[in-house]
Amino acid sequence: MDRRWLWLTFAPVADITAERFRTSLDMVNWLSIVYFVVSVPVGLLAIWILDTIGLRCAVLLCAWLNMVGSIVRVFSVIDSLSLGSLNYVYLLVGQCLCAGAQPLIIFAPTKLAALWFPEDQRATANMIASMSNPLGMLIVNLLSPTIAPEAKDIPLLIGVSAAPAILGCLMSTVGVCSSVPPTPPSASADHLNSPTFCEGLKMLSRNKPYIILNLCFATGVALFTCLSSLLEQILCVNGYSNFFAGLTGALFIIFGLIGAFFLGLYVDRTKKFTETTKISFVLSALTCIGFAVVSQMREQTYAVAILSSLFGLFGFSIYPIAMELNVECSYPVGEGTSSGIIFVTSQILGVLFILLFQNLAVEKKNAPFSTCAVSLGPPMDWSNAILVMAGISTLASCFFIITFHTNYKRISAETSQSFSTNKTEEESIVVTAHPKCHKLNKL
């Protein structure tokens, strides 16, 4: 949760952050983009750590990087350490350290669910662990505009955002004692037969359902992250305040949490991973189109809020279900490897999308109702960018619905292992109950 807060601290207040550090909006956007850039190379290392060394090492390393990065960010607002106009460098270095922590923990939910929970609880466990990310986004969308309504309040915002990272590091160091439970909760957890890292990559490169899921789901994650990073800039040009942009982002996440909770329970009972994911893809694409149109209109507060809520309800709820589906179609490849490759793909796409959307945005010279910071120059018209975003979402959804089909490999393996175990136990009981017959048979 603190990871997401550190990532998007400045997104809801991008204009006043640029004013405080005397830089441009593009440079403020780079405080988010750097997460994409750093996460790609570090992500491959994180995959290896998670599947080779273990869950505990990944969690502890993430916690310490987050804490150190958040403290470096605080240096940017301490007068005795001031670099003058270069204080932005502290922010960027701190963001890079925090960005290095992200892959270590974001791959963990599927691994945690597989190792610590039985098969009828895995989707729910994955949902709870995964939704800590949007919960962090919810907090940042509500608190950033509230704590820092003006440029002079940015130091307070940076200090407050460091507190959860420091607390999380202390709790992780003391509380995370083991990578696996004493007793395996399921057959797949008991039979740890995952291939090596390199073998797993080869298997994934030949797995058609996984490749389709990777491309489509990573596209969705990248679009959601881009929207979260640019939401304030998209809305301010049409007269919506920073507070409303934060509220819109909060509704987006709240309804996403609600959708993920109920879908997690539903999928745990029915195992309808594919059907649920496809329906959610369709509905999220439709609401993305609606949001793209309405967000470019003035005085449509209720419509923007409702469509943002629906977009979150259908879009965010895909995340934990798709991650479980990813494990099912890629088994026996390690959970860290399969989910990690999806995340790395989403980071690469995220960089490309943000750069694309920034280039599609044009100056809007006649914007009398704009609430964007005047000191940063003319406001930007994001209508082309947001429509392209909706188009990409629609294409990804259609492609996934038409082409994705898979067997649930992990469930099948667990069923076979359970059947073999029960058969062996029954044979053992028969032999024990009839020792004389057993001796005669041997003769």
pLDDT score, position 233: 80
Q: b/e per residue, 167-194, with b = 16+ CB within 10 A? A: ebbeebeeeeeebeeeeebbbbbeeeeb
Going by pLDDT thresholds of 50, 70 and 90, the confidence category of residue 420 is: low
Q: What percent of the chain has pLDDT over 70?
A: 86
DSSP 8-state secondary structure symbol assigned to residue 186: S
User: 268 with 124: CB under 8 angstroms?
Assistant: yes
Q: Which residues contact 230 (CB under 8 A, 6 or more apart)?
A: 11, 29, 354, 357, 382, 385
pLDDT score, position 189: 52
Token code pair at residue 368: 């009398």
Going by pLDDT thresholds of 50, 70 and 90, the confidence category of residue 286 is: very high
Q: Tell me how far the alpha carbon of residue 334 is from its chain's centroid.
A: 19
Inter-CA distances, 4 with 55, 140, 334, 359, 393, Å = 20, 8, 25, 25, 23
What dihedral angle (degrees, nearest 10) is formed by the CA atoms of 78, 84, 85, 89?
Answer: -50
Going by pLDDT thresholds of 50, 70 and 90, the confidence category of residue 438 is: very low
Query: pTM for the whole thing?
Result: 0.72
Beta-ladder partners of 363: 380
DSSP 8-state secondary structure symbol assigned to residue 131: T
- Please, how many CA atoms are within 13 Å of residue 42, restricted to the half-sphere of its CB? 23
Q: b/e per residue, 85-103, with b = 16+ CB within 10 A? A: eebbebbbbbbbbbbbbbb
Inter-CA distances, 78 with 9, 40, 93, 119, Å = 18, 31, 15, 50
Cα(88)–Cα(92) distance, integer angstroms? 6
pLDDT score, position 187: 56
Mean pLDDT of the residues in the chain: 81
- Range 316-339 average pLDDT: 83
Q: By C-alpha distance, which of 9, 10, 36 is closest to 23? A: 10
Q: What percent of the chain has pLDDT over 90?
A: 19
Cα(295)–Cα(31) distance, integer angstroms? 24
- Secondary structure of 377-399 in the HEC alphabet? CCCEECHHHHHHHHHHHHHHHHH
Token code pair at residue 442: 């041997």
Helices (H) and strands (E) in the chain, counts: 20, 2
| Residue in the block written with tokens 């809520």 | 309
Q: By C-alpha distance, which of 107, 140, 144 is closest to 126? A: 107
Query: Is the link from the previous residue into 332 a cis peptide, with omega within 30 of 0?
Result: yes
User: What is the tens place of the pLDDT at every residue in 38-92?
Assistant: 888 888 888 888 878 888 888 899 889 999 999 999 998 887 777 776 788 898 9
Token code pair at residue 345: 């793909």
- Range 5-12 average pLDDT: 78
pLDDT score, position 396: 94
Cα(270)–Cα(359) distance, integer angstroms? 44
Q: Which of 265-279, 368-382, 419-433 is the least confident region?
A: 419-433
User: 381 with 298: CB under 8 angstroms?
Assistant: no
User: 342 with 211: CB under 8 angstroms?
Assistant: no
Q: Which residues contact 131 (CB under 8 A, 6 or more apart)?
A: 256, 257, 260, 261, 316, 319, 320
User: What is the tens place of the pLDDT at every residue in 175-226?
Assistant: 887 777 767 666 555 555 667 778 888 999 999 999 999 999 999 989 988 8
| Residue in the block written with tokens 């934990």 | 320
Higher-pLDDT residue of 127, 399: 399
Q: Given a cut of 60, is residue 393 above it in pLDDT?
A: yes
pLDDT score, position 440: 40
What dihedral angle (degrees, nearest 10) is formed by the CA atoms of 32, 35, 40, 46?
Answer: -160
Token code pair at residue 52: 């080779």
How many other CB atoms are there within 10 angstroms of residue 53's CB atom? Answer: 12
Q: By C-alpha distance, which of 218, 222, 204 is closest to 389? A: 222
Q: Given a cut of 50, is residue 443 above it in pLDDT?
A: no
